Structure 1
Amino acid sequence: MKRMVPVLLASVLLAGCADEPAQPVEPQPKPAKKTKPPQPDRPSAAERAEKQLKETVSNMSTAEKVDQLLYIGVTGTALTQADRTLLQDHALGGVLLLGGNITSTDQLKTFTAAIAEAQPADAKAFLGFDEEGGRVSRVPDAQLKLSPSLSFGQKNDPALMKEVGQTLGSISRFYGFNMDFAPVLDVNSNPANPIIGDRALSADPQQVARLGVPLMQGMKKEDIVPVVKHFPGHGDTTVDSHVGLPRVDATKAELEQTELVPFKRAIEEGTEMVMVAHILFPALDKNRPSSLSKPVMTGVLRDELKFDGVIITDDLVMGAITEQYGLAQAASLALENGADMAMFSAPGAYTSVHKEIMARIKQDKLSRADLDQKVIRVLRLKQTYDLSQTKRVDEYQRLIEQVKAVEADMRH
Structure 2
Amino acid sequence: MLPAQSNPYLRTWVFILLLALAAGLLAYATKFRAQDTTAPALVVPTPPVATQAEVVTREYAQAQVAKNMYVPLLLDDSSLLTAQVAQLALWRVGGVVVFGKQISWAQAEQLEAELAKYPDWQPEILVDHEGGIVQRYSGAGFTKLPSWQSLCELSSEKRRELLTTSLAELKTVGVTMVLAPMVDLGENNKVLGTRLCSADSQVVVAAASDYIEVARSLDVTPVLKHYPGLGGTTLDTHQSLEALDPSTAEITVFSTLLEKYPDIPVMVAHVAIASDDPTKPCSLSAACIGALKKTFPKVQVISDALEMGGAKQGDSLTTTARKALVAGNDYLLFGSPVTMEEIEVVLRELTDEYQRSPAFALLLQ
Q: State TM-score, norm by structure 2.
A: 0.75
1:280 maps to: 272
Q: CA distance change for structure 1 residues 334 and 315 in 2, over 3 Å: closer, same or farther? A: same
* C-alpha distance 324-224 of structure 1, shift in aligned 2 (>3 A): same
What residue identity is the alignment partner of 2:185? V
Higher RCO structure (Cα 8 Å, ≥6 apart): 2
Once residues 168 and 365 of structure 1 are traced to their aligned partners in structure 2, the CA distance between those partners, rounded to angstroms, is: 45
Match in the other structure for 2:87: 86
Letter in 2 for 1:130: D
Pair 311,365 (structure 1): closer, same or farther in 2 beyond 3 Å: farther
Q: CA deviation at 1:369?
A: 3.4
Deviations 1:194-224 (A, max 9, x none): 3323222211123212321221111111111
Moved more, 278-287 or 224-233: 278-287
1:220 aligns with 2:216: yes
Q: 1:241 to 1:87 in 2, by over 3 A?
A: same
Q: What secondary structure does 1:245 align onto?
A: coil
- State which of 223, 237, 255 in structure 2 corresponds to 1:264: 255
**1:293 matches 2:285:** yes
CA distance in 2 between partners of 1:240 and 1:337 (Å): 22
1:235 matches 2:225: no
Residue 190 (structure 2) aligns with: 194
Letter in 2 for 1:64: A
CA contact (8 A) 2:142 2:166 kept: no
**Superposition deviation, residue 148 in structure 1:** 1.3
User: 1: distance between equivalents of 2:183 and 2:132?
Assistant: 15
Does the 8 Å CA contact 1:291/1:314 hold for their aligned counterparts? Answer: yes
1:112/1:277 CA distance change after superposition, 3 Å: farther
Indicate the larger mover: 356-365 or 289-298.
356-365
Does 2:332 align with 1:342? yes
1:133–1:145 contact (8 Å) kept in structure 2: yes
Give the residue type in structure 1 aligned to 2:109: K
TM-score, scaled to structure 1:
0.67
Percent of residue pairs identical: 26
Q: Given that residues 232 and 259 in structure 1 are in contact (C-alpha distance below 8 angstroms), is that contact kept between their aligned partners in structure 2?
A: yes
Preserved contact between residue 128 and residue 178 of structure 1 (Cα < 8 Å): yes
Partners of 1:225 and 1:284 in 2: CA distance: 31
**Compared with structure 1, are the counterparts of its residues 365 and 57 closer, same or farther at alpha carbon in structure 2 (3 Å cutoff)?**
closer
Post-superposition shift, 1:183? 0.6
Counterpart mapping for 1:359-398 below 5 A: 359-362=352-355, 364=357, 366-372=359-365
Shift of 1:275: 0.9
Which residue does 1:321 correspond to in 2? 311
Considering only CA atoms, is the larger Rg found in Structure 1 or Structure 2? 1
Q: Secondary structure at the match of 1:131?
A: strand
* 1:204–1:69 Cα change, 3 Å: same
SS in 2 for 1:354: helix
Q: Which residue number in structure 2 is paired with residue 110 of structure 1? A: 110
Mapped contact 2:163–2:214 kept (Cα < 8 A) = yes
In the alignment, which residue of structure 1 is the partner of 2:180?
182
Distance 1:95 1:224 in 2: 15
Cα pair distance change 1:285/1:217, threshold 3 Å = farther
The answer to which structure has the higher strand fraction is 2
Distance 1:81 1:106, change over 3 A: closer
Deviation at 1:256, TM superposition (A): 5.2
Name structure 1 gaps, 5 residues minimum.
Answer: 1-54, 373-412
Q: Aligned partners of 2:81, 2:148: CA distance in 1, in Å?
A: 35
Unaligned runs of 5+ in 2: 1-47
2:141 and 2:240 map into 1 onto residues whose CA distance is 31
Pairwise CA distance, 1:83: 1.8
Note the aligned Cα RMSD (angstroms). Answer: 2.7
Task: For 2:144 and 2:319, locate their aligned partners in 1 and report how far apart those are by CA, in whole Å.
Answer: 37
What's the offset of the Cα at 1:266? 2.0
Task: Label 1:362 to 1:282 Cα distance change in 2 as closer, same or farther (>3 A).
Answer: farther
Residue 3 of structure 1 is matched in structure 2 by none
Match of 1:381 in 2: none
Rounded Cα–Cα distance in structure 2 between residues aligned with 1:82 and 1:88: 10
| Partner SS for 2:197 | coil
- 2: CA distance, partners of 1:105 / 1:177: 12
Q: Give the alignment partner of residue 351 of structure 1, picking from 335, 338, 344.
A: 344
Question: Is 1:144 matched with 2:140?
Answer: no
Contact between 1:187 and 1:259, CA under 8 Å: does it hold in 2?
yes
- Shift in Å at residue 86 of structure 1? 1.8
Query: Aligned partners of 1:136, 1:56: CA distance in 2, in Å?
Result: 42
CA distance in 2, matches of 1:275, 1:234: 12
